Amino acid sequence: EDQVTQSPEALRLQEGESSSLNCSYTVSGLRGLFWYRQDPGKGPEFLFTLYSAGEEKEKERLKATLTKKESFLHITAPKPEDSATYLCAVISSGSARQLTFGSGTQLTVLP
Amino acid sequence: DTGVSQDPRHKITKRGQNVTFRCDPISEHNRLYWYRQTLGQGPEFLTYFQNEAQLEKSRLLSDRFSAERPKGSFSTLEIQRTEQGDSAMYLCASSRDNSWGNEQFFGPGTRLTVL
């Protein structure tokens, strides 16, 4: 059974204070690792897909990286509008097409 | 706006009543998924359609839950004899039919409260 664990559960940063969120996974044949952003009361918003170890993707202040056991979401010089819950999910060869999600990291960026 | 849409956005019902939710996927996407999310947790997979065929169902999907996608376009999720434990956000997502790792795009969700 696929498992995804995210840490920390919650993170408070000052504006401009860079940090990283962790997503560790156990799957039978990774097909893709996905990062989503979710604002309160809304559906998840797609950010990145990573397919193989060593791959990196960037978007504005966010950078996602992937190893064989975990992924990191690096946030550089965050702004208050980056406050949200960040969700990590995987698709594996054993899970048909469904995403298996972690519980998320709730990020708060203080002005 | 060509994103995934869901209706209603909020539903309050009494225990024992039946409810039905609708999802309209992105028009060129032929895969459609239903997930359920409770407070503080990530979404959990319920079921998946490719066109009109329901190809996968989670063990979370009890006999009280049924989903359809009659013409391969919109989908409905019905919950019969609702229970308080059914209170959650019900999310719909869609994706293209190209490869394993296709990105799934989510709708805004339907928040169900069972009293």
Is the pLDDT at A60 greater than 90? The verdict is yes
Q: Is B65 on the interface with A (CB under 8 A)?
A: no
Q: How confident is the model at residue A64 (pLDDT cuts 50, 70, 90)?
A: very high
Q: Which residues of A touch B8 (CB under 8 A)?
A: none
pLDDT score of A96: 64
Cβ count near B9 (within 10 Å)? 13
Residue B84 DSSP SS3: helix
From residue B19, alpha-carbon distances to A84, B34, B68, B70, B96 in Å are 30, 15, 14, 18, 28
Which residue is associated with the tokens 């064989």?
A68
DSSP letter at B103?
A: P
Q: Number of CB pairs < 8 Å for A and B?
A: 67
Q: How confident is the model at residue B97 (pLDDT cuts 50, 70, 90)?
A: confident
Query: Are B43 and A104 a contacting pair at CB < 8 A?
Result: no
pLDDT score of A28: 86
Write the residue in B101, B107, B108 that is nearest to A31 by C-beta.
B101
Measured distance CA(A97)–CA(A59) in Å, rounded: 25
Residue-wise pLDDT for B30-81, tens only, equals 999 999 999 999 999 999 999 999 998 998 888 999 999 998 899 999 999 9
Residue A3 DSSP SS3: strand
Write the residue in B55, B104, B109 that is nearest to A99 by C-beta.
B104
Q: Which residues of A touch B38 (CB under 8 A)?
A: none
Measured distance CA(B106)–CA(B109) in Å, rounded: 8
Is the pLDDT at A21 greater than 70? The verdict is yes
Burial class of residue A59 in the structure, from the number of CB atoms within 10 Å of its CB (0-12 exposed, 13-18 middle, 19+ buried): exposed
